[in-house]
Structure 1
Amino acid sequence: MSTLTKSNHIGRKISRIRELRDMKQEALAQALGTNQQAISTLENSETISDEKLVEVAKALGVSVEALKNFSDEAAINYFNNFYDNSGSNGAFSHGPLFTFNPLEKLIEAYEENKKLYERLVQAEKDKVEFLEKILKDK
């Protein structure tokens, strides 16, 4: 069957999106307030009312347009482009781009902690000195 004569079977599209979202028919049924058999019937339907389509789209977390225009080929192309392993393009091809040196930031944090510790030790010394002065005066 060629892509030109392929029917626009909305039930199959719902089924594929549900499967891609790793959702069982029972979970979709619960979200729609119905039972699993109704979802099975829905997924076997070639056409669905616009009101029901809005409910299903909301339950699946997609737009009505995404449901209507879904195709396996487009999904495969999306994931192939998104997770391109060639290293030439794609979302994660270049790795993290730091605008700072992480080692320098670690050293700065260490130095800051060292200064705070020195201040804490000095405050304790001052406290001890003050208490000793109070004891001498008594």
Structure 2
Amino acid sequence: MNLDTTHKRVHQGRNIKRLREMLGVKQETLAIELDVTQATVSKLEAKEELEKDMLERIAKVLKIPVEAIENFNDEGALNFVANNFHTSDTATGLTITFNPIDKIVELYTEKEALYERMIKEKNDLIERLLEK
């Protein structure tokens, strides 16, 4: 018996969550656009496989192809988003392109700075309490 264990099954819900987060879309926002509850979005993100209709609706809201959700994997994830994310406004002719990797680094840096401020505030509070 020859079983192919190299092919991993795609977890569509997890892919939706990853793409949503990479694009900076909150669950609440996606829920509003889909006309469902935030809890429903959370359940969808936990499902391994979603109905084709729901995949199409989510892809439309996130402005990505359905194939991105169906074929998304760790190796191609950053490459896909980095090479394919841009938005255009036909009314103004404005095209905005940014590298999501830069956005991830920016968010990480902001979180790191917040963490450092919190530690400093905690240490300052401890010092004030010890002085009393």
TM-score normalized by structure 2?
A: 0.54
Aligned to 2:34: 32
1:36-80 Cα distance to aligned partner (Å, 9 max, x none): 000000000011111111101101110111111112211234578
Distance 1:76 1:32, change over 3 A: same
Answer yes or no: is 1:75 the counterpart of 2:77.
Answer: yes
Report the AA paired with residue 11 of structure 1: G
Give, in whole Å, the separation in 2 of the partners of 1:38 and 1:30.
11
Give, in whole Å, the separation in 2 of the partners of 1:30 and 1:36.
8
Aligned to 2:116: none
Distance 1:51 1:7, change over 3 A: same
Checking the alignment, whether the CA contact within 8 Å between 2:11 and 2:48 is kept in structure 1 is: yes
Greater strand share, 1 or 2?
2
Give, in whole Å, the separation in 1 of the partners of 2:78 and 2:8.
18
Q: How many residues align structurally?
A: 80
5+ residue gaps in structure 1?
Answer: 83-138
Alpha-carbon RMSD across the aligned residues, in angstroms, is: 2.3
Larger RCO, structure (CA 8 Å, separation 6 or more) = 2
Q: Return the match for 2:51 from 49, 52, 55.
A: 49
Distance 1:51 1:19, change over 3 A: same
